[in-house]
Amino acid sequence: MEELLEILEELHSDVDYETCTTLVDDRIIDSFDIVTIVAEVDERLGVMIPAEEIIPDNFNSAASLWALIDRLQNG
């Protein structure tokens, strides 16, 4: 989770990722951010997020994104 938060904070250092659950709905992150997140998660965590998992629910909060990564890693 630490690593993921680092990736997210590099993108937007003014967002409180611990509490925010509307990253997509409130347009806090955009398409460029999604592409960056997918690339960084692959590079730094070694987890490939497949296209069918790139849906709003998985990207609305750091927690849901982490749950996805966890599922991909251990599922």
Residue ranges that bind another protein, judged by CB under 8 A:
10-14, 24, 29-32, 34-36, 38, 50-52, 54-56, 59
The residue among 50 and 75 lying less far from another protein, judged by its C-beta, is 50
Least CB distance to another protein at residue 68 (A): 14
17 vs 59: CA distance, rounded Å:
11
Closest CB to another protein among 9 and 70?
9
